């Protein structure tokens, strides 16, 4: 799918952060984009306007991916507008910030809520879009996971576990959706974002950011735009790659720092 002009992509959770950066990058390549949001309506409208300024069409869709009816509705609206779906980016995600040492800080409801969006939501979106994507013959699904899936660290144990499940699901879906649809995942590490700053608090955010930069061979942390470039690679390139996971963390996972003791 080298040429994205006139193609159509659904990007869940694309009002802000990585989702918004991905929608904008796809728009720059001439791809029409579905801008999905759950609560961030103002930001989603701004993202849609920025995409349209690049000469593409957008569809603004409020939907909660944890609800199957919403996933089916978003897919149906996309087909009604363009009659095709070439790419799906399962980016929508939630967490509960909870120190891993605090086992009493997470309830079963927390796990269910996080899994319902991060795992079940991605599954339901893929299931809804797959029949239409298969018709294009060369479609791509990209799941936005996290290095938390591979290291067991992150904003909470429930979040890390959900992203691990998403990586495993990527393998399963890659097997069953080929040859028409490629399914891959990106695993960003620490991302410079308002979401993490609000979750960790400004002082902790800066400390964690510096820790990651100091411990990584490249001395950097990711931005939403850097993650978006990796997502674009799996959509427009990587023509015979499926079931793969790409780590985007400046090499932090190579560090000898005892991460499990953080």
Annotated active-site residue 211? The verdict is no
**164 and 149 in contact (C-beta within 8 Å)?**
yes
Extract the tokens encoding 115: 């899994």
Paired residues of 32 in beta bridges? 8
Q: Which of the residues 37, 123, 159, 205 is marked catalytic?
A: 159
Paired residues of 248 in beta bridges? 188
Q: How many CA atoms lie within 13 A of 173 on its CB side?
A: 28
Q: CA-CA distances (angstroms) from residue 38 to 13, 43, 61, 67, 124?
A: 7, 11, 9, 11, 16
User: CA-to-CA distance for 8 and 245, rounded, in angstroms?
Assistant: 23
**Which residues participate in catalysis according to the annotation?**
159
């Amino acid at each position: 799918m080298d040429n994205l002009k006139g193609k159509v992509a659904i990007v869940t959770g694309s009002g802000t952060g990585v989702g918004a950066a991905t929608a904008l990058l796809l728009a720059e390549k001439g791809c029409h984009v579905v801008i999905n949001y759950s609560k961030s309506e103002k930001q989603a409208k701004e993202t849609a306007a920025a995409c349209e300024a690049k000469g593409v069409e957008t569809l603004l869709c409020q939907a909660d991916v944890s609800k199957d009816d919403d996933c089916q509705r978003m897919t149906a609206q996309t087909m009604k507008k363009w009659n095709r779906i070439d790419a799906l980016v399962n980016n929508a995600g939630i967490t509960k910030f909870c120190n891993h040492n605090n086992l009493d800080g997470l309830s079963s409801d927390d796990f269910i809520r996080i899994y319902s969006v991060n795992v079940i939501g991605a599954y339901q979106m893929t299931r809804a879009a797959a029949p239409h994507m298969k018709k294009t013959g060369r479609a791509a699904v990209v799941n936005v996971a996290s290095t938390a899936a591979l290291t067991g660290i992150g904003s909470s144990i429930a979040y890390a576990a959900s992203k691990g499940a998403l990586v495993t699901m990527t393998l399963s879906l890659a097997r069953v959706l080929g040859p028409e649809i490629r399914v891959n995942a990106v695993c960003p590490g620490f991302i410079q974002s308002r979401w993490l700053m609000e979750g960790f608090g400004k002082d902790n955010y800066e400390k964690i950011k510096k820790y990651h930069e100091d411990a990584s061979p490249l001395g950097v942390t990711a931005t939403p735009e850097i993650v978006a470039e990796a997502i674009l690679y799996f959509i427009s390139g990587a023509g015979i790659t499926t079931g793969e996971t790409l780590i985007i963390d400046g090499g932090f996972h190579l560090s000898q720092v005892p991460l499990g003791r953080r």
